[in-house]
């Protein structure tokens, strides 16, 4: 069991840090998580909404769901967890974020290297010709159509779909060289994203989990901090700044 001081010393002497984040890092920005007591999947079945066949069968319903989530995301701001992760860039050479989230809050918080494993709700493309429509796509109650007549879909990875090759391979590189791998606010149940935790372990990174409860990742973490990411990350950052007398 590492003392908190050991953990702070380890992080303070790191050259390369990766933050692997899930919906929990955005919970304090008011964006609902997927699983657990107030998860959105409790009310809706992912199979019914976040998959391509559901979209073909009922594009209106799927668009309605994403527009609803876009409105929530549009009213949200990065919280103290996103801002602390971004501030780490000031004190460490290599800081990368690998996120399963589609809300763009890490970038809005100022993080420069962000790999979005499951896409980004601000991007959309035509299923026919793959023309991208991003902020020029006003909230539509009906399904937006491309100039070619094809249906436009959110640029989000649905169940049964491959993760973006570029994102998935580039983050392998970030993981292979990292000394510290933070896991922040994820239940670690969705694959292949969750497999990156095991890859980090195999590469010898020190694994620090931050979550409000135990997860699948807890048993392989070298240290788990239980509590809200918006409280714990600023605290860790302050302890590190004192250590490196900022
Ligand atoms: C693939 C859509 C294969 C976008 C998402 C059976 C059938 C089909 C597929 C499968 C199957 N069995 C397994 C699979 C694979 C499947 C999968 O893993 N399913 C799981 C559910 C069992 N994966 C896939 O389908 C992937 N594709 O495998 O393709 C393939 C191979 C070859 C060729 C073709 C295809 C695609 C996975 C991506 C799916 N898309 N979302 C959207 O609408 O958002 S997944 C969804 O879950 C989100 O993207 C989310 O990011 C992701 C992970 O969830 P978390 O982020 O962890 O969120 P969660 O709510 O679960 O947890 C939140 C955590 O935060 C909790 O631990 C909580 O305690 C904590 N927390 C809360 N508040 C705080 C906090 N922590 C700190 N502070 C707080 N304040
Ligand atoms: Zn088109």
pLDDT at 142: 77
Is residue 140's pLDDT more than 80? no
Q: Name 133's bridge partners.
A: 124
Instruction: Say how far residue 187 (Cα) sits from the centre of its chain.
Output: 12
Ligand 1, atom 50, lies closest to the CA of 100
Q: Name the pLDDT band for 2 (thresholds 50, 70, 90).
A: low
Q: Is 228 in the pocket of ligand 1 (CB under 6 A)?
A: yes
Residue of higher predicted confidence among 211 and 66: 211
Is residue 42's pLDDT more than 80? no
Instruction: Say how far residue 226 (Cα) sits from the centre of its chain.
Output: 19
- Catalytic annotation present for 82: no
pLDDT at 105: 98
Q: Name the pLDDT band for 116 (thresholds 50, 70, 90).
A: very high
Among candidates 26, 191, 172, 35, which has minimal Cα distance to 96?
Answer: 172
CATH superfamily of the domain spanning 32-75+121-156: SIR2/SIRT2 'Small Domain' (3.30.1600.10)
Q: Name the pLDDT band for 34 (thresholds 50, 70, 90).
A: confident
Using the structure block, give the residue that is written with the tokens 């995301």.
73
The architecture in CATH of the region 1-31+78-118+163-246 reads 3-Layer(aba) Sandwich (3.40)
pLDDT at 126: 94
- % of the chain residues with pLDDT over 70: 94
Query: With the C-alpha atoms ordered 101, 106, 107, 113, is the resulting torsion angle positive or negative?
Result: negative
* Percentages of the chain per state (helix, strand, coil), in multiples of 5: 40, 20, 40
Domain edges within the chain: 1-31+78-118+163-246, 32-75+121-156
Ligand 1 centroid from CA 16, angstroms: 26
Establish whether the linkage from the previous residue to 192 is cis, with ω within 30° of 0.
Answer: yes
Contacts of 180 by beta carbon, 8 Å cutoff, 6+ apart: 10, 11, 14, 16, 17, 18, 205, 206, 208
Read off the DSSP letter of residue 205. P
- Whole-angstrom Cα distance, residue 200 to residue 4? 21
pLDDT at 194: 96
pLDDT, tens only, 76-104: 999 999 999 999 999 998 999 999 999 99
Residue in 153, 154, 185 to alter for ligand 1 test, most ligand atoms within 8 A of Cβ = 185
């Amino acid at each position: 069991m590492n003392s908190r001081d050991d953990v702070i010393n380890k992080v303070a002497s790191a050259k390369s840090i990766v933050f692997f984040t899930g919906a929990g890092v955005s919970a304090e920005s008011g964006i609902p998580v997927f699983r657990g007591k107030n998860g959105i999947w409790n009310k809706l079945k992912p199979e019914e909404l976040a998959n391509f066949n559901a979209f073909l069968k009922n594009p209106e319903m799927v668009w309605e769901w994403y527009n609803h989530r876009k409105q929530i995301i549009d009213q949200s701001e990065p919280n103290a967890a996103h801002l602390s992760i971004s501030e780490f860039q000031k004190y460490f050479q290599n800081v990368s974020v690998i996120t399963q989230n589609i809300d763009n809050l890490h970038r809005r918080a100022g993080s420069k290297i962000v790999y979005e494993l499951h896409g980004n709700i601000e991007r959309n493309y035509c299923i026919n010709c793959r023309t991208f429509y991003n902020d020029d796509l006003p909230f539509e109650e009906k399904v937006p159509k491309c100039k070619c007549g094809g249906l436009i879909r959110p640029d989000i990875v649905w169940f049964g779909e491959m993760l973006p090759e570029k994102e998935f391979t580039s983050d392998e590189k970030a993981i292979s060289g990292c000394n510290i791998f933070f896991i922040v606010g994820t239940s670690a149940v969705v694959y292949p994203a969750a497999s990156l935790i095991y890859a980090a372990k195999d590469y010898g990174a020190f694994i620090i989990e931050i979550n409000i409860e135990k997860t699948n990742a807890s048993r392989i973490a070298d240290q788990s901090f239980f509590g809200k990411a918006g409280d714990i990350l600023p605290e860790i950052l302050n302890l590190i700044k004192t250590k490196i007398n900022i």
